[in-house]
Chains A and B, each alone.
Chain A
């Protein structure tokens, strides 16, 4: 019984550490090889406190956690600030792990390589599992908040996240901090369970175990990694003779899973009814394997025939496996009606709230909207109205290539301006310069009178400029609704602590408001029916519409649309034209539209700018542009132009 208890406690301890890595690597897409070092920080801090200073257990654990968090921020700030590749971060954490080991080995208080023996045994089955459950609940709560969505968004596509105003560094640090805190907690528990720690315990092997747990359990899931690491702790116990081969096996498993099943055990999902049979089958195989050897021994001892013993043991193992599998299937089926009820309840509650608010007429997007035919393209009138955007002598080079060459133009408030030009003429670069993806090489960008040229991408979004992308950049594994919710991050007004606790007085209200608002935005682009669908499964045309809804969630004054009709058929393009007219009118937007579909541009814009080789070669009404010799030359080439002329 003590043996079983030992295994179970180990499961809980490693599960907490794995949970920590899951919330970092699994969601932000950054790879840490130094999680064993965060465990070491927690373990040594807590042990020194309880051992030398007789600090109460939980206080010591808490201090260990706090120190781990601080250390992680210290190492995370410089490395994440560089905003480069996750490779660099991985190697920096590897180095950090080594540094911690060297310091522990050479420090008097930690008693060097000899380690700390005689730490009081405070970790029990009760408190480790209590903490594990608590950790899972807190992490789950966190991921459901606006803070969690920010982190998931960054992991899916850092560039798109920044373009909806989510700053990378603070959110990555937040995730790292939580992650290191859990690792520290796990370390503290480990020290107070094994009662002896030394620097070599917190080696690469430990980091490998935790990493294997996260990858095999599924990046983007919490319960998956916890289940996987539990198996990694239990299964080797069944094959004690192969202890040395354990890590060989983990390594191979990493390669196999990442190559052929990158989604891992539950695939971006948590343990739910649908994958319950999977869990039971795994438990069945484990149970079957663990019964194999004892049964074999028992038969050999009583009868002695080897073949017979093998047969019986195999039969028992197989029977247990099948039994568990059936049990899982049965349970899953039995739970189906309950789950159905629960889901339908949950689906209807917010919708009822949303529809009631719509009935009160707060949202002008009901059925009684003005007919699109009444829409008239806004007058150019750049002289009469105040400009919202003024671009003066804008320049950008890539190496020797001049992408934008002294471009100047003004956009008046409420205007819908077309930006066209042959491929490679610098249209998207102009957007990238306005939204601060690239720094400008010269010139100024004034937005509502403010010089935004030196601003960062998130500040530009704050100021009121939103954009869509030529190559669609959605958060693929989020649902359609969550994509929009993620963009509403500035309106999630509760604190981080409230989020962790899902504080009933604030969080549900705010979240409901965000959900309703997201549904409203989806209904503008006609996607409300697809709200619960995974964004990556949407057809191409709808993905472009979702990008527009996401951009609208940023409450922009100026919207930059980068080829919204690309890849659409004529009917979809016509729909899109209506949509753009509608949002232009209803949201009071100024819009710059890059588009190759001339029908779309001509029917939307009263004024069109034509770029070629980064220069403005023409501007004017669609009729003027269509007759402009320079434009025709740019599109057709000089020879062809000479022929048609």
Chain B
């Protein structure tokens, strides 16, 4: 039973990690929390739904890739429309955050106004298939989500280390101005950054959609991925992964435990935010975060 819970936790945690990486990538370079990421993830799931169910019967893998591409492009457009002006003007991060909130509110309600509040299911790819190992029952989708998330993050890591763009992104995380002085086109760099973050989000959205449902406010779950990113230390890639997994595990454990007869699963979200508050008190920079100091 305990191991079963751990496996559930790791599976949801890996999806959290995928979303948290998107937050952290953007944060590391632009230094603000992109609250529109949740809406991009939701739209990624809707693209998959449109492709696999509503309009066509595209198989899972092509649909997954197309959703990733679509979400990536949406994230890119999101940056161009809502952030690039502020970025060029060096506006305070509060402004970027408000703009992100605006995008999130707008997109989520656009879905309500056009497609509606109904819940849609994505085809149960291998959600129904299970693997039995001893007494454990593991859904193949869970295994797939975990493996594929891990693979993607590994690929991303290689991109950041080995490619020119990756090196530029890491350099920009340290000093954006310096990077631009050295002749890197910041617009292109930030565009690539958002495309990567968006496509990771699209993937996470599809996984969420298969595991649960597709609905306009599914982006809410990304707030918890954000907490994962904060736990690991905003702006840090390993931090996002560790934080996401850790939060997934803790949530899975809380869901199955009970206190004085009442199940704690209703209070799962409260618990996650509680962790955030406690963390902010004792270790405000998270596990891998760096403390950014102003130059006086």
Contact = CB atoms under 8 A, between A and B. Distances in A.
B284 A247 contact: no
A400 to B, nearest CB: 14
Q: Helix, strand, loop or mixed for chain B's interface? A: helix
A353 B108 CA distance: 59
Nearest to B100: A255
B130 interface: no
Given A87-B32, A255-B82, A259-B99, A247 B273 contact: no
A258 B293 CA distance: 26
- Interface range, B side: 35 or more
A251 B98 contact: no
B138 interface: no
Contacts of A523: none
B99 A88 contact: no
A79 B280 contact: yes
A32 to B, nearest CB: 11
Interface in A246-283: 246-255, 258-260, 262
Contacts of A245: 109, 113
B280 A250 contact: no
B277 A90 contact: no
A118 interface: no
Contact of A215 (B98, B106, B273, B284): B98
Interface stretch (A94-102, A327-335, A359-367, A496-504): A94-102
A571 interface: no
Interface in B73-122: 81-82, 85-86, 91-95, 97-99, 101-110, 112-113
A251 B33 contact: no
A102 B230 contact: no
A262 B92 CA distance: 11
Nearest to A84: B284
B276 A92 contact: yes
A251 B109 contact: yes
Contact of A87 (B85, B97, B110, B223): B97
Q: Helix, strand, loop or mixed for chain A's interface? A: helix
A80 to B, nearest CB: 9
A244 interface: yes
A127 interface: no
A517 to B, nearest CB: 27
A85 interface: yes
Contacts of B287: none
A529 B5 CA distance: 72
A297 interface: no
B227 interface: yes
Nearest to A435: B296
Interface string B267-296: 101101110111011001100000001111
Contacts of A251: 101-107, 109
B223 A82 contact: no
Most buried by A among B85, B110, B113, B280: B280
Interface in A142-179: 159
A260 B296 contact: no
Contacts of A323: none
A47 B279 CA distance: 35
A574 interface: no
B234 interface: yes
Contacts of A250: 102, 105-106
Nearest to A96: B273
Contacts of B33: 85, 87, 90-91
Contacts of A90: 33, 35, 97
A428 interface: yes
Interface in A60-91: 75, 78-79, 81-88, 90-91
A31 interface: yes
Most buried by B among A33, A87, A245: A87
A95 B86 CA distance: 27
A386 interface: no
A437 interface: yes
Nearest to A211: B101
Given A211-B101, A251-B103, A262 B281 contact: no
B163 interface: no
Contacts of B82: 255, 259
B239 to A, nearest CB: 14
Interface in A476-507: none
Contact of B97 (A82, A86, A96): A86
Nearest to B82: A255
Contacts of A33: 101
A124 interface: no
A248 B106 contact: yes
B32 A258 contact: no
A470 interface: yes
A428 B281 contact: no
A29 interface: yes
A31 B94 contact: yes
A251 B107 CA distance: 8
Q: 4 tightest A-B contacts by CB?
A: A95-B273, A251-B106, A254-B102, A251-B105
17 contacts: A78-B280, A84-B280, A92-B276, A92-B280, A95-B223, A99-B269, A99-B274, A102-B266, A247-B106, A247-B112, A248-B113, A251-B104, A251-B107, A254-B101, A258-B99, A259-B82, A259-B85
Interface of A: 29, 31, 33, 75, 78-79, 81-88, 90-92, 94-96, 98-99, 102-103, 106, 159, 204, 208, 211-212, 215, 244-255, 258-260, 262, 428, 431-432, 437-438, 469-471, 473, 562
Given A85-B93, A250-B105, 5 more contacts: A96-B273, A103-B270, A208-B105, A248-B109, A471-B296
